[in-house]
Each structure stands twice: as C-alpha cells, then as structure tokens.
Amino acid sequence: MWTWWLAVGSILSAISIGIGAFGAHALKGRLTPDDTAIFETASKYLTSQSLGIIVVALCMSRLDSVALKIAAYAMTFGILIFSGSLYAIIGTGLRGLGAITPIGGVLLIAAWLLVAFAAISAHWA
C-alpha cells in the first residue's frame, strides 16, 4: 500500500508545480493582492502536504500502522478541501467557499497527529 501513497504524493507534487507555474505566468497581474495571497497559501499547502504524503508513504514502507494509513487519507482529503477550496475561491469569486477551508486544515492537523501517534506507538512496541 505504501507504493500507492508514494504515487499519490508524487502526482500531487507534480500538480503543485504545474499550478504554481500557471499562477506565476498566466495569472500574473490578473489577481488582486488578496487573491494572490490566497493563491499562494493554497499553493504552499498543496506543495508541503504533497511532500507530507510522500513522507507518510515512506514511513509505511517500514511500519505497518493503521494510524499511518488513516493519516494518508486525511492528508489527501485535507489537501483537496483546504487548497481546493482556496483555488475555487480564486476561480469563481465565491468567498463563501472559504467556510469549508478549515475542514481541510483540521484534517491536515489530524493527519500529522496520527503520524506522531504511529511513531510513538512503534517506539513503545
């Protein structure tokens, strides 16, 4: 299963590069300063958490842990909800979509706490 998550993290990392390049070139000068900040936040989290999925996958290669499996799902859905909702705000102008952004953030926090739990559990096993 870890190879699946390695692929997911790698694909999301590639997407983050593409979106970042799109934003730097195609959107340059078209966004307000507020929208640029929103775009940059979405891109920063997409990039960092995609790498996080890769880290979780590599941990899975060494440790069979339900917590790591749940963390991978939480991280993936957290990215989709957090960054996805911010990108949707930029694309549609519907600021109300920001109401779901914190759900993604909570999933990302939960994912990292699950990784910590898996590590602590393995240490004491």
Q: Using one digit for the tens of pLDDT, what is the confidence trace for 1-16?
A: 899 999 999 999 999 9
Is residue 125 predicted with pLDDT exceeding 80?
A: no
Least confident range from 10-14, 21-25, 58-62, 118-122: namely: 21-25
The count of domains in the chain is 1
| Residue-wise pLDDT tens digits, 52-96 | 999 999 999 999 999 999 999 999 999 999 999 999 999 999 999
Question: What is the residue range of 36's domain?
Answer: 2-124
In this prediction, residue 72 carries a pLDDT of 98
Q: Which of 3-12, 22-31, 50-59, 107-116 has the lowest mean pLDDT?
A: 22-31
Query: In sequence order, what are the residues at sequence separation of 6 or more whose Cβ sits closer than 8 angstroms to the Cβ of residue 13?
Result: 47, 50, 51, 54
